[in-house]
């Protein structure tokens, strides 16, 4: 897997220029409680004069704030680039958060927004030797070119390995390893009656010799990962999908299962009023649920390039459970 990232985390720096790294990795008190800048490498702080500060966390860490810095933010950019280069970070020319080879628009651009005002933006992305990435986008909104708005994102290499990002897949070819290298099993562990159908609990195990990637899409209401899994039932001699989820895009996030690791989740089998029901961009050919067993089928991947080329895979990896009888109502 030819990735631009490796699995390491970066600590927080006390430098003002590394504001993004410090604010996005550490835990902070409120603005009024910020301690002064010290030499402690893990001391969180805010740049003097920053305001309208907002933080959030998802697959990566996010920060937004404003500061008094006139266009074109020359002093600010000089501080940031100088600090990052001192610590051996390098500028990225291709957008790490776009799977295609898209250049980072690193020069000031201006356009008229939908409200009629003039907007000016600049973007930069930097990467550490360990593979962590910091991205920031600078904004000015006419007629006020004295106030700089900063949107920043910080992703560790660990986080990047589990979410869609740029990887050089031009020379990638499907792994020709032994079949035992990539092997997974899925088991239905429980089936509970639920509204309009059943809640099907399952467990996925990596019983191969190499790591595998299992697609996720956030978390379920009980905190378990929402894995992309198909629940199927037999009707008229063939197995068909009886769930109500329809992924319309390539995987954006995933969990990595090392050999001998497992992950648990659940999905729903639901009753539709008629066959060939169209929902989103998918068609479910089976209508009503039958009083027959259910199975779980799940696709897994070998690398991020396997995911990015998922529609071209001639022999994708699937794991199918044994059929399990549904509870008698």
Q: What is the domain partition of the chain in residue ranges? A: 16-160, 179-320
CA 93, chain centre distance (Å) = 21
Helix intervals (H) in 70-147? 74-86
Mean pLDDT of 283-303: 92
pLDDT of residue 169: 83
pLDDT of residue 147: 96
pLDDT digits (tens, 9 = 90+) for 151-167: 988 888 988 889 888 88
* Residue position matching structure tokens 């933006």: 121
Q: What is the DSSP letter of 310?
A: G
Residue 280 neighbours by CB under 8 Å, 6+ apart = 246, 248
- pLDDT for 196 beyond 70: yes
72-109 CB burial, b ≥16 within 10 A, e <16:
ebeebbebbeebbeeeebeebeebbbebeeeebeeeee
- pLDDT for 212 beyond 90: yes
pLDDT digits (tens, 9 = 90+) for 6-28: 333 333 333 333 334 333 333 33
Query: Comparing 44-48, 213-217, 246-250, 315-319, which segment has the lowest mean pLDDT?
Result: 44-48
Banded pLDDT at 179 (limits 50, 70, 90):
low
Alpha-carbon separation of residue 175 from 164, 293, 306, 315, 316 (angstroms): 20, 34, 9, 11, 11
More confident residue, 36 or 65: 65
Distance, CA of 95 to CA of 131 (rounded, Å): 14
Joined together, the tokens standing for residue 187 give: 């088991």
Q: Cβ distance 18 to 10 under 8 Å? A: no
| CATH dotted code for 179-320 | 2.60.40
Distance, CA of 181 to CA of 200 (rounded, Å): 28
């Amino acid at each position: 897997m030819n990735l631009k990232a490796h699995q390491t985390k970066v600590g927080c720096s006390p430098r003002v220029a590394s504001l993004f790294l410090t604010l996005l990795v550490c835990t902070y008190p409120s603005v009024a409680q910020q301690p002064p800048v010290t030499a402690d490498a893990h001391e969180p702080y805010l740049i003097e004069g920053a305001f309208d500060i907002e933080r959030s966390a998802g697959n990566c860490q996010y920060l937004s704030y404003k500061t008094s810095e006139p266009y074109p933010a020359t002093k600010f950019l000089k501080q940031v680039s100088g600090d990052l280069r001192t610590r051996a970070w390098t500028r990225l020319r291709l957008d790490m958060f776009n799977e295609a080879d898209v250049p980072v628009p690193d020069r000031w651009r201006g356009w008229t927004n939908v409200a009629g005002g003039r907007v000016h933006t600049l973007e930069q992305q930097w990467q550490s030797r360990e593979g962590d990435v910091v991205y920031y986008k600078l904004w000015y909104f006419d007629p006020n070119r004295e106030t700089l708005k900063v949107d920043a994102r910080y992703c560790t290499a660990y986080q990047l390995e589990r979410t869609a990002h740029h990887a050089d897949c031009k020379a990638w070819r499907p792994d020709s390893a032994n079949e035992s290298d990539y092997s997974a099993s899925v088991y239905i562990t429980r089936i509970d009656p639920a509204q309009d159908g059943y809640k099907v609990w399952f467990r996925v195990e990596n019983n191969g010799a190499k790591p595998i990637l299992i697609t996720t899409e956030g978390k379920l209401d009980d905190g378990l990962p929402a894995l992309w899994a198909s629940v199927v039932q037999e009707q008229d001699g063939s197995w068909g999908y009886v769930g109500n989820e329809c992924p319309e895009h390539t995987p954006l996030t995933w969990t990595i299962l090392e050999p001998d690791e497992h992950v648990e989740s659940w999905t729903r089998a639901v009753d539709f009023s008629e066959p060939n029901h169209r929902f989103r961009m998918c068609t479910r050919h089976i209508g009503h649920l039958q009083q027959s067993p259910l199975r779980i089928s799940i696709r897994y991947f070998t690398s991020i390039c396997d995911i990015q080329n998922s529609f071209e895979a001639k022999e994708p990896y699937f794991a199918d459970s044994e059929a399990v009888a549904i509870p008698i109502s």
